Amino acid sequence: MSYRGDETTGFQSPAQDYVEPVIDLPALLDLRQPGLYPVRVVGQQLRSRGIHAGDILIANAAADPIEGKVCVAFLHGEVILATLVRKGDAWLLSPSTGEPQPVTDEVEIWAMIQALVRMKV
């Protein structure tokens, strides 16, 4: 049996009518949205952005690109994290190492990073 602070056997709990469920983090992340893909970080090149090796990032493929945000990109056959840079009407992808690259057939914004889960701090 589980006790939630309400059903006591001796003295009636004053909290009986005030019980609320525990905080539901999965509901907050809502991974059932069709555009959300959790991904795992390797490499420490984005520590300055607060992204560490081993972090789980929640990537959102339904989100629009925003200047300065980090995204998951397909870049010449690699899956990398890159920062979005705007140049006129075009988007550039700036990887943590190397030159910014214009978005083309071979350089694709896969999804925008919208949240981070770190199980060990």
Partner 1 sequence: MFALIDGNSFYCSCERAFDPKLRDKPIVVLSNNDGCVIARTQEAKDLGLKMGEPWHLASKRPELKPVICKSSNYVLYGDMSRRMFDVLSSMTPAVEPYSIDEMFLDFTGLPGDLVARSVELRAAVRRIAKIPTCVGIGPTKTLAKLANKLAKGDRAGSGVVDLSDSEYRHERFANVPMSEVWGMGRASVAKLDKLGVGTVADFIALPSDSVRDLLTVTGQRTHAELRGMACYGFNEGPQTRKSIACTRSFGRAITEWEEMREAIASYTTRAAEKLRRHSLFAGAMQVFMRTNEFNNDPKYANSATFEVEATADSFALIGAATGAARRLWRQGYRYAKAGIILLDLYQRDDLPVGDLFATRDPGRSQSLMTALDAINGRFGRETVRSASVGYQRGWSMRRGNLSPCYTTRIGDILVVKA
User: Is 4 in contact with 13 (CB distance < 8 Å)?
Assistant: no
Q: Which two tokens stand for residue 109?
A: 């914004």
Q: Largest Cα–Cα distance in the chain?
A: 71
Torsion sign across C-alpha atoms 58, 99, 92, 73: negative
Q: Which two tokens stand for residue 15?
A: 């909290």
- Give me the least distance between CB of 54 and partner 1, in Å please: 11
Which of 13/55 has CB closer to partner 1? 55
- Give me the least distance between CB of 40 and partner 1, in Å please: 5
- Give me the least distance between CB of 87 and partner 1, in Å please: 22
Which of 39/92 has CB closer to partner 1? 39
- The radius of gyration computed from the CA coordinates of the chain, to the nearest angstrom, equals 21
Which of 10/26 has CB closer to partner 1? 26
Contact positions vs partner 1 (CB under 8 A): 32-35, 37-46, 51, 53, 56-57, 61-62, 72, 74-81, 96, 106, 108
